Amino acid sequence: MALAAVQLLPWRGRHLAVRRAGTGPSIVLIHGMAGSLTTWDPVFADLARSCDVIAVDLPGHGSSSRSVDDYSLGSLAASVRDVLDALEVKTATIVGHSLGGGIAMQFMYQFPERCERLVLVSSGGLGREVTPMLRALTVPGAGLALAVGARLQHQRHVVAAGRLARPLARRVWNDLPYMLRQMATLDDPETRRSFLATINAVIDVGGQGINASDRLHLAAGLPTLIVWGEKDRMIPSGHGYAAAELIPGSRFELVPGAGHYPHEDSPDLFASIVTDFVATTEPRT
């Protein structure tokens, strides 16, 4: 099935990019750091068979506008609310991956009346630990290193070598191909600036700077699903287990063999987990 076209919604004199398809309960998909709505492409069509699916490019990411001043979780959550307003969607299940999980939780805190269910996928914001690669990007000079790395990835011989090395890279670190794919998008200075502003809003050299664990009790009564990859080396799956213990009645699903991107590593299983969750839970009203 062909994916729906990306549309640009007017937003504060700029625009936000979204992809929308399907009918049924509304689901909003929020990508992670340096990502875009295309990360959901492997599961989009399956989810759209029973849901109204809305995948969002956050400000400064994908096809959405750059030159945004505020990349805090509160501002990014407000941009998701603005998408719902523009599409005339009153309430939705909010699904967030990695950074998007932190934004999904922030959305729940700021706009509880708009949040029917919460789905956290390898979510940030649940503990201090995070891969050293992301911590290294908060030190001075990280922008220059990113520029050089992104430029190299676009050179023809490097691209060819990367294709050959991809199977080995996946064995060494299952999420490395995904990380390199996202870093390759940072060759544009404005995109790179947006990425660094986003990462510095939530991560410092010691790890994640925001921990929502002491506020998870606010999700009591909200149907909550937590999905994690069994082999996630970006953010430990222990964060997900701990969060599930703090949210009464929540579900925890560990995806076998998957890394930090379970929706890309095991799309059929991921889509079935989320579809079943939406079908078997009543939205919070």
Percent of the chain with pLDDT over 90: 63
pLDDT per residue over 19-35, tens digit each?
999 999 999 999 998 89
> What is the three-class DSSP state of 64?
coil
**Where do the DSSP E strands lie in 182-229?**
203-204, 207-208, 224-229
* pLDDT above 80 for 153: no
**Where do the DSSP E strands lie in 2-51?**
6-11, 14-21, 26-30
CATH architecture of the region 6-130+210-280: 3-Layer(aba) Sandwich (3.40)
Residues 227-246 have a mean pLDDT of: 95
Pairwise pLDDT comparison (186 vs 59), residue with the higher score: 59
Active site residues: 98, 232, 260
How far is Cα 107 from Cα 111, in angstroms, rounded to an integer? Answer: 6
* pLDDT band (50, 70, 90) for residue 197: confident
* pLDDT above 80 for 190: yes
- Helix %, strand %, coil % for the chain, to 5? 50, 20, 35
* pLDDT above 90 for 100: yes
Residue type, 44: F
* pLDDT above 60 for 170: no
Residues 247-267 have a mean pLDDT of: 96
Q: Tell me the domain boundaries of the chain.
A: 6-130+210-280, 132-202
For 43-52, 142-151, 207-216, which range has the lowest pLDDT when averaged over its residues?
Answer: 142-151
Identify the pLDDT of residue 160.
43
Rounded (10°) angle between helices 189-202 and 73-86 = 120
Identify the pLDDT of residue 273.
98
Max CA separation in the chain (angstroms): 55
The residues near 64 (Cβ < 8 Å, ≥ 6 apart) are: 11, 14, 15, 16, 17, 57, 58
* pLDDT above 80 for 65: yes
Q: Is the pTM of this model over 0.75?
A: yes
